A = this chain, B = another copy of it.
Amino acid sequence: MSLINRLDTRSPEFRAQLTALLAFEAGEDAAIERTVADILTDVRTRGDAAVLEYTRRFDRHQPADITALEIPRSEWLAALDALPAAQRDALEAAAARIRSYHEHQRAETWTYTEADGTVLGQKVTPLDRVGLYVPGGKAAYPSSLLMNAIPAKVAGVQEIVMVTPTPDGTRNQMVLAAAAIAGVDRAIAIGGAQGVAALAYGTATIPAVDKIVGPGNAFVAAAKRRVYGTVGIDMIAGPSEILVICDGHTPADWIAMDLFSQAEHDELAQAILLCPDADYLAEVESSIARLLPTMPRADIIRTSLANRGALIQVRDLDEACEIANNIAAEHLEISTREPERWADKIRHAGAIFMGRYSSESLGDYCAGPNHVLPTSRTARFSSPLGVYDFQKRSSLIQVSAQGAQTLGKLAAELAYGEGLAAHARSAEYRLDTGADATTTDSTAVSTDTSRT
């Protein structure tokens, strides 16, 4: 097996090779689906009792009762105090930058008034209550907690309820510290499909939320998919991806390490480099070979690069941009001179890292933008997690007495055309010429106190 795949856009097989490389089918596991469906029904029906039973079984610890699963704020604050100063400072600095960036995303209510006095617009409001899923054990990333919770708070969400499994009763102190920094409101030591179910349906002790966000394993993902509609959910993420466009003048080690930083997440993660310079690609391959043995997660990186990674020689950077638009990668690094020139040509990417200094890892932690990004080509139609995911809009329609004359005639014409007579007559009642023939109280209009 080679270290990493080598492709060339000039090869007649290139398109087929690229398609094969990108192919990833999430696939449904029937056993997981059945288990999750049962757990959801059970929690919906039996509430706290079911949550407690599943937690005892799956997380292997024995809370006395459901209230013992609430993690009190004093415990988060203690975790925060116990953090080494450098780590705490870094988390707080990252949180401040994330908050500051996301404040640019807050949408505001708007209206406009037409000549006849009719007012139209949209009212923007935050969601009332959001559920935040935080994985337990080793996959618990405090940075991920910040990225999910802070946009909700910036949006104005009143209450964030965090659930996180505590396998064998172990509570992740970094996660609790991050929860305190991010402004989470409640933390409950439950996870899995039972945690999602409790948030979606509510129980006697756990309040039902309006939306559930945050990463999780296959059970959590299946549960989120199933409760969608009852509550909102964020995107179900696929394996992480980085695509680097390089002009061949960034230190090869930098680019090799950038590819590693994606590959170290997961054997299924995908790291691809596009460059017009064959010598440079060879140089990066040498860097990979030399640096790989020094990495703590070398095995994961090796598998990821061999199966899903690629160094692709392109004709030029224009072609690289075309390919990038087709791949619609989660992370796109444009490691070139004048990166703006190439960024202008990019239509589809979760995040665009411009210039040689913008390594993806800076964006993962502290640049400010969200690291929850669309994967698996979904950047063609979706966006990074943001404040807009925790706000929603209500149309505002305040038709003036005068406006109702024009609009009423229009609406009636169209409604009759669609065979919807009640729609038409409801509009016609508001016409000054009187309501339609069946109306007996045409004088009633004059009792309308709002009409002046």
Binding site for B on A (CB under 8 A): 26, 86-87, 90-91, 93-94, 101, 104-105, 110, 112, 118-123, 125, 127-128, 138, 141-143, 174, 210-211, 229, 231-232, 236, 249-254, 257-258, 260-261, 263-265, 290-291, 294-297, 301, 332, 336-340, 343, 346-370, 373-374, 376, 378-384, 386, 388, 392-401, 403-404, 407-408, 410-411, 413-415, 417-427, 429-430, 435, 438-441, 444-445, 447-451
Which residue from chain B places its CB closest to the CB of A409 in the assembled complex?
A: B90
Contact of A296 among B295, B386, B421 (CB under 8 A): B421
Which secondary structure characterizes the binding site on chain A?
mixed
CA distance A355 to B398 in the complex (A): 6
Given A211-B381, A430-B357, answer yes or no on A261-B337 (Cβ-Cβ < 8 Å). no
Question: Quick one: given A105-B122, A418-B143, are A94 and B410 in contact (CB under 8 Å)?
Answer: yes
The number of times this chain is found in the oligomer is 2
Q: For the complex, give the distance between the alpha carbons of A393 and B382 in Å.
A: 7
A104-B112, A254-B435, A297-B422 known, 17 other contacts, Cβ within 8 Å: A120-B368, A123-B352, A210-B380, A210-B381, A211-B381, A229-B236, A253-B435, A261-B423, A264-B423, A348-B394, A352-B396, A358-B399, A366-B411, A369-B395, A379-B394, A383-B393, A386-B393
Residues of B within 8 A of A91 (CB): 414
Contacts of A362 in B (CB 8 A): 397, 399, 404, 407-408, 411, 427, 430
Cα of A370 to Cα of B398 in the assembled complex, Å: 14
**Bound complex: CA A263 to CA B383 (Å):** 37
Pair B399/A357 contact, Cβ less than 8 Å: yes
Alpha-carbon distance between A354 and B411 when the two chains are bound, in angstroms: 17
State whether A347 and B420 are in contact (beta carbons under 8 Å apart), knowing that A352-B396, A362-B407 are contacts in the complex.
Answer: no
Can you list 12 pairs linking A and B with CB atoms under 8 Å apart? Answer: A104-B112, A125-B348, A210-B381, A250-B448, A253-B435, A254-B435, A291-B438, A295-B422, A297-B421, A361-B411, A379-B394, A380-B392
Q: How far is the CA of A161 from the CA of B411 in the complex (A)?
A: 27
Residue of B with least CB distance to A332: B394
